[in-house]
Amino acid sequence: MEATRVIGRYEKDGLFFVDTSVLSSLKLVNGQRVELIISKYEEAESVMDRKRNRIRLQRESNKRKLRELCSLMKREKPFAKRVHQAKISAFQLYQNNADLLEGL
């Protein structure tokens, strides 16, 4: 019997089913083998969660730096060179955020 297509795993009538989109041509096997396969699936999810968290923290850091640069631009109006550099840095932070989103 071929495994039913589900997200993650579930138990029905004592049999374990796993997501066949994650593991190609998976057949129902004993519970121990399914547990091993599922743990690898959960590990992959954990890695993605850590990546998302790292990207979220980087975006928050970039937003904070952008706010600081905007504040600097308002205070340093007489110094055109500093303002120009702050604008360039702000644009680079904006681009970094866009690149991070594409990484997902």
Average pLDDT of the chain is 66
Its pTM stands at 0.40
CA dist., res. 90 & res. 83, Å (int): 10
Burial class (CB in 10 A: 0-12, 13-18, 19+), 21: exposed
Token couple for 13: 């009538």
Token couple for 82: 């500093």
Choice between 79 and 96, residue whose per-residue pLDDT is larger: 96
Task: Give first-to-last CA distance, the chain, whole Å.
Answer: 35
User: Which helix (H) or strand (E) element contains residue 45?
Assistant: helix 31-75
73 and 86 Cβ atoms separated by less than 8 Å: yes
State pLDDT tens for residues 17-60: 555 444 444 445 555 555 555 666 677 778 888 888 888 898 89
